[in-house]
A and B are shown apart, each in its own frame.
Chain A
Amino acid sequence: MKAQIELANQDNSSYRKLKDRIFFWFIVVMSVVTISPIVMIIGKLVVKGFRQFNFNFFTQTTPDTFEAMMAVSQGEIIPGGILNGITGSLLVVVLASVMAIPLGVIIGIYLYENQAKRYAGLIRSIADVLQGVPSIVLGLISYLWIVKHVTTGFSALAGSVSLCIMMLPLIIRSTEETMKMIPTSIKEAGLALGVPYYKIILRVLIPTGFSGLMTGILLAISRIIGETAPLMLTTLGSPVVNMNIAKPTSAVPLLIWEFYNDPNMVDLIWSSSLFLMGFVLTLNIISKRIAAKRRTI
């Protein structure tokens, strides 16, 4: 009996071992192929950008090209930082969020409440189309609407409108999906207590779906924070810290573009990109954490 089993094992063992080894190495190679770009990108950014990554980088505005040239020619690090870009990005993103989050959440809840209505289907398709519109086109549209007519000049507001349009479909969809995941029984529990419907939405559904809503919002923010093209047509850029929504404003991705065009500032490209990458990664990690922690349903 025992011998028989051993015999049976021996029959296939070499073939099986070979198969096992082939698959093992296949998976190893594929994993390396998948991971290597991100490792290479982060590695490159750290190596090249780390030298510029100092205190001044976060507290000073961009140097002018002459200062940078002098520093580079003497082999020193470039003075100044990207404070104007960081504050500009914050201003534009906060403005865009203030517009996009309430609107997106309201539309998302509307779609959830009116699943089958034709009007809801139309909004859903518009959101899908919007998601596919190239961001530079959104920049152009915001240029026509806001730059030309509202602020009559390049402005943070114009930039945030174009980014808001980019955020909307993401937030609408994630809100609708989140709401769909909340069991109807939770809604019924509220209704059975005589709670008016709008209060159930505000005080039961939104808190219950909070983690889902938050995840969608953070992902939408991380999606727009690196946008450059629409900002070129709308916020334009600024060498100083600007907090006026009607004035031109800098932003981190805009600075990266400007540094790229100035041979004296090349080193700053890497540190700015490292900063941006780190920010987006952090947002992603936070949103994953929230999703894992508050999965209360």
Chain B
Amino acid sequence: MTTVAMAEKQVKMEERIVDIKNPVLSIQDLSIAYNKDKYAVKHVNADIKKNAITAIMGPSGCGKSTLLRAINRMHELYPDIVTEGKINLHDDDILKMSTIKLRRKIGMVFQRPNPFPTMSIYDNVIAGYKLNGIKLKRAERDEIVERSLRNVALWDEVKDSLMKKGTFLSGGQQQRLCIARALAFQPEVILLDEPTSALDPVATAKVEDLLVELKKDYTIVLVTHNMSQAARISDYSMFMYLGELVEYDKTKVMFTNPRDSRTEGYLTGKFG
């Protein structure tokens, strides 16, 4: 709770309302149902700030993943899904874009590290280009691989074994490899769904440091069910409960002065 104590001093009343200028993403009255009339996400409104880490918190099953996956339309994997409302990337309606274009602008990292098991470390990083049949010169490819691996602080660890299978790496290294794979396209936004929940504390710390570093160049949306993680690294936090976005605020404000009793209950460990 030291984070809370520290942040408490800085709270000012005018910070209580999130007013984000020139948002990268704008979620407008978004509702999503897997089955008819059983909504997993209900009337969510939120703007996402550029070059910041926005954390989505809430108890398990509250719709965090569903909301996150809607942002690059990975939720459409389920054929019966119903999506209402709008998400804008700058001024473009995401739901009207081609998923191929969209997913190159909005990358995603998953809960469990999922490098392609048949591919080398090198090929995993460049997979987005390779699988899409985008032709690159050897030098360009080398450059993208090196840049992406440096971005995730993995280059020094793997530069001598680039042709080894990605699955030979440790869990933490695999997850950073997956982040590098998402970065290779230089997307605008990176979505991460509980990226450290399968990692040990040391690997978790590395990924957290990395995300803080990456927000200089990218906009990051992070689902986490680990409150202290959100407190440590996020700039903005959302608290979701039963599909609703209960509270959305600057992280330090929400952790010190939650407006809603449900948020307070969650943050003080009453549930979740």
Contacts and interface: CB of A to CB of B under 8 A. Distances in A.
B131 A193 contact: yes
Interface in A164-192: 183, 185-186, 188-192
Interface of chain A, helix or strand or loop or mixed? helix
Contacts of B115: 189
21 contacts: A183-B114, A185-B110, A185-B114, A186-B117, A188-B77, A190-B127, A191-B74, A193-B104, A193-B128, A193-B131, A193-B182, A194-B99, A194-B102, A194-B185, A196-B100, A199-B132, A204-B118, A208-B116, A208-B118, A296-B165, A297-B117
B252 interface: no
Interface in A200-240: 200, 203-204, 207-208, 210
Given A194-B101, A195-B131, A204-B131, A189 B178 contact: yes
Interface residues of A, number: 21
Given A185-B112, A188-B77, A192-B182, A199 B133 contact: yes
Contacts of B165: 296
A296 B167 CA distance: 8
Contacts, number: 77
A191 B117 CA distance: 16
Q: Which 8 A-B pairs have the closest CB atoms?
A: A194-B103, A192-B108, A185-B114, A193-B128, A296-B117, A194-B100, A195-B131, A207-B118
A195 B165 CA distance: 21
A63 B38 CA distance: 77
Given A195-B131, A196-B100, A189 B116 contact: yes
A297 B115 CA distance: 10
Given A193-B127, A193-B131, A193-B181, A188 B110 contact: yes
Contacts of B132: 193-196, 199
B107 interface: yes
B103 A192 contact: yes
Contacts of A203: 130-131
Given A194-B102, A199-B133, 7 more contacts: A183-B114, A185-B110, A192-B108, A193-B127, A204-B116, A208-B117, A296-B165
B101 A188 contact: no
B148 interface: no
A33 B132 CA distance: 56
Contacts of B102: 194
Interface string A22-56: 00000000000000000000000000000000000
B103 A189 contact: no
Contacts of B127: 189-190, 193
Contacts of B107: 192-193
B77 A192 contact: no
Nearest to A183: B114
B114 A188 contact: yes
Nearest to B109: A192
Contacts of B101: 194
Contact of A186 (B108, B114, B181): B114
B237 interface: no
Contact of B110 (A189, A195, A199, A204): A189
